[in-house]
Amino acid sequence: MKPMDIGVVGLAVMGQSLVLNIESRGYSVVVYNRTTKRTEAFIDSRTAGKRITAAYSLEEFVQSLDKPRRVFMMVRAGDPTDALIERLLPLLEPGDVLMDGGNAHYENTDRRCRVAEGHGVLYLGIGVSGGEIGALLGPAIMAGGSEEAYGIVGSILESIAAVGPQGSCCAYFGPHSAGHYVKMVHNGIEYAIMQALCEAYDLMHRGLGMVADEIADVFAAWNEAELESYLVEITERILRQNDPDSDGPLVEMILDTAAQKGTGKWSSQSALDLGAPSPSIAAAVFARIISSMKADRVRAEPLLSGPCPKLAMDRADAVDMLFSAVLCTAISAYSQGFRQLRSASKERNYGLDLAEVARVWMAGCIIRARLLVPMTKAFQRQSDLSMLLLAEPFRSLWEEHQTQFRRLVARAHEAGIPVPAMSSALDFVDAYRTSRLPANLLQAQRDFFGAHTYQRIDQDGTFHTEWEQVR
């Protein structure tokens, strides 16, 4: 049989979709899955007339590939990826390309790059965003690792990616874990925006007494304006979904405890390690954690008093304010994310091109949004832009919407409705734009109890004060 162009290991939903996508671009694909049953089911149900064949051992899989072999791993991140790599490496030859399309932790990708290199195998850590439909019709693809490997597989990856206003939403971002790091921060921003949309829903639902369909109408209108994005679009569609069992909106029947697979948490952990301020991403992670403490929250509700969760204001005015709040929160969250990428690139020598990152996020991925078009242009105009918010049109948007944003956050706090993504986004901008923060007092406190010293605004050097007489 003619050797196959590419092999995919792992036939869960993302793997299957990716296989079909790759084949649809004119490549032959060999697939392998740990459980034979899943392979058979996939071959029987989805591959008729397609250049897709199955292998039932990894040896057979590797042997059926054209050289240099191109192997795409679409298995669960973590131990299953390591176990697979351990089995694959002895079967591969120097110059073959091994790709990991899972949501791997960037430190694992660094390590795996080194292990593969030891075998002469060219390794790529690839962030794939867009969910099942994206993987099938065109995801955003964030590659990192061996540049030589990208030279071999880049054309395949670029052919299967979504097409945005500036071309294929696939790029090589830099060495070792650059691609997975970019994908992780993508997910961090995803967390922050999803949380902001949930807060907007809560304020409309509990705060203004609006029903799901009315809230969906608001999201639909936002999707026609600056907030046009995939996440706003799906939120509208979710709110319109009826539940046949209760004959009401399905969203109201879903248990309010959020799950997470870890990418948002990793993004925050890395931000802390880097000293990069990404508070809205962290706030969104903590919001999910608090939501998961359902039993605690149920116990606490009658015990801890608070105001009536109503926004005593005109509905249309409140909805206008909400638009400003979500828009500013999104801009703040993207700004934080890009700033984190900038810090990580410096610290980890990724050499990231932030204009390319924004360009790749324009289509296919979960955080694709109209806002990414001016973001891309802002970084194309100024590659060393230190803070997205400072560039146009974001500075003007901020100016136009900040008053409404502040009012909304204040009203939410008055009503006792939590808005962690929004308020952290506002605090971030307020701190960033304040030339003198109260950290002078903080330094004094540190010096008081720990002789940690401080610097002065009027003299060079390091100072310590004997704040009290030792008794």
- Per CB under 6 A, residues contacting ligand 6PG are 103, 129-131, 187, 190, 259-261, 263-264, 365-366
Given a contact cutoff of 8 angstroms between Cβ atoms, the answer to whether 226 and 400 are in contact is no
Residues 6+ apart with CB under 8 A from 376: 166, 355, 358, 359, 362
Ranges of H-type helices in 275-391: 279-292, 294-300, 315-348, 354-360, 372-381
Q: Whose Cβ is closer to ligand 6PG: residue 269's or residue 380's?
A: 269
- Annotate 405-424 with DSSP letters as a single string: HHHHHHHHHHHT---HHHHH
The encoded tokens of residue 68 equal 């240099």
Active site residues per annotation: 183, 190
Q: How far is the CB of 144 from ligand 6PG (least distance, A)?
A: 16
Q: Whose Cβ is closer to ligand 6PG: residue 140's or residue 318's?
A: 140
Q: Indicate the angle between helix axes 106-118 and 178-202, nearest 10 degrees.
A: 160
Q: Whose Cβ is closer to ligand 6PG: residue 15's or residue 264's?
A: 264
The encoded tokens of residue 450 equal 């720990």
Q: How far is the CB of 336 from ligand 6PG (least distance, A)?
A: 17
Q: Whose Cβ is closer to ligand 6PG: residue 112's or residue 265's?
A: 265
Q: Whose Cβ is closer to ligand 6PG: residue 183's or residue 401's?
A: 183
Task: Report how far residue 358's alpha carbon sits from residue 378's, in angstroms, rounded to the nearest whole number.
Answer: 10
Given a contact cutoff of 8 angstroms between Cβ atoms, the answer to whether 329 and 196 are in contact is yes
Q: Whose Cβ is closer to ligand 6PG: residue 352's or residue 365's?
A: 365
Given a contact cutoff of 8 angstroms between Cβ atoms, the answer to whether 70 and 94 are in contact is no
78-114 burial, b at 16+ Cβ within 10 Å, e below that, comes to eeebbebbeebbeebeeebbbbbbbbbbbebbbebbe
Q: How far is the CB of 259 from ligand 6PG (least distance, A)?
A: 6
Task: Report how far residue 171's alpha carbon sits from residue 45's, in angstroms, rounded to the nearest whole number.
Answer: 32
Task: Report how far residue 457's alpha carbon sits from residue 98's, in angstroms, rounded to the nearest whole number.
Answer: 54
- Look up residue 199 and give its amino acid: E
As a dihedral over the C-alpha atoms of residue 207, residue 211, residue 213, residue 219, rounded to 10 degrees, the angle is: 10
β partners of residue 73:
9, 100
Q: How far is the CB of 130 from ligand 6PG (least distance, A)?
A: 5
Q: How far is the CB of 373 from ligand 6PG (least distance, A)?
A: 19
DSSP 203: I
Q: Whose Cβ is closer to ligand 6PG: residue 259's or residue 316's?
A: 259
Q: How far is the CB of 129 from ligand 6PG (least distance, A)?
A: 3
β partners of residue 4:
65
Report CA-CA distances (Å) from 407 to 201, 220, 396, 400: 17, 23, 18, 13
Q: Whose Cβ is closer to ligand 6PG: residue 33's or residue 268's?
A: 268
